[in-house]
Amino acid sequence: MPEVLVIGIGPGHPDQITVQAVEALNRADVLFLVDKGAEKRELIAMREEICRRHIRDPQGYRTVEIADPPRDRNPADAAAYHGVVADWHQARAERFEAAFAEHLAPGEVGALLVWGDPALYDSTLRVFDRIALPLDVTVIPGVTSINALTAGHRIPLNRIGEPIHITTGRRIAGGLPDGLDSAVVMLDAGFTAAQLSDPDLYVYWGAYVSTSDEVLIAGPLAEVAGHIAATKEKLRAEHGWIMDTYLLVRRTS
């Protein structure tokens, strides 16, 4: 049965990768790279730096690109969105399966490099569930962008004994869910929290966290929201892309 390693490679810094992930990278004969077309040069460069830094034998592996199937980015409603995502996962599974069947010789080990941790807002493991080809899959956890955000701000993620909510920009528009005072927001195209009027919210925001381009801003949301939104636009224009994450905390005295 072909062996495939799904390796979390952390949020960008080449040192924020576990020893287990480094050993897994060194076991791989074939690195399967998902070509997202629009993937930014800097992201590819960071992934290449991780391989250069950690793979001991540069001749000991080969790379195979898997083109990402096209996806409708503007479905009409939530039901259409779920349909679009399911179709996209299925199309991805068929491409992964074909690539593994074609490029992994008997006894060889394949690897997929996943940004951050494969369990957090990443479709790779769901796609694997749809692959019919019997595979021996091992998942190597990675440092998440949330870990890098809280480390950058030198803060704990949760308040003592309290839960933490992790959500997307689209779903924070209505505010924190009832009964919750802390939320991490990911995948936010704009800075949706700027719409929230709760005067007790404090924000810890970070872009390109863990990388040499990291930018961190923290403060009462009402005071810093405009600054974060403007900084985000400026950084996006400078880099051509942006990845940012933030923690919202309701300050109760």
Ligand X SMILES: C[S@@+](CC[C@H](N)C(=O)[O-])C[C@H]1O[C@@H](n2cnc3c(N)ncnc32)[C@H](O)[C@@H]1O
Q: Which residues bind ligand X (CB under 6 A)?
A: 11-12, 115-117, 120-122, 144-145, 186-187, 206-211, 243-245
Residues 111, 3 contacting (CB under 8 angstroms): no
Cβ closest to ligand X, residue 52 vs residue 170: 170
CB of 227 to ligand X, least distance (A): 17
Query: Using CB atoms, what's the residue nearest to ligand X?
Result: 116
CB of 111 to ligand X, least distance (A): 16
Q: In the chain, where does DSSP find H-type helix?
A: 19-27, 41-54, 78-103, 124-129, 145-153, 169-172, 221-239
CB of 53 to ligand X, least distance (A): 17
* Residue 137, C-beta contacts closer than 8 angstroms, at least 6 positions apart: 3, 4, 5, 6, 128
Coil, helix or strand at residue 77: coil
Separation CA 21–CA 7 (nearest Å): 6
Cβ closest to ligand X, residue 94 vs residue 122: 122
Cβ closest to ligand X, residue 104 vs residue 167: 167
Cβ closest to ligand X, residue 104 vs residue 140: 140
Cβ closest to ligand X, residue 144 vs residue 231: 144
Instruction: Tell me the DSSP string of 57-77.
Output: -TTS-EEEEEEPPP--S--SS
CB of 242 to ligand X, least distance (A): 8
Centroid of chain to Cα 102: 28
CB of 183 to ligand X, least distance (A): 13
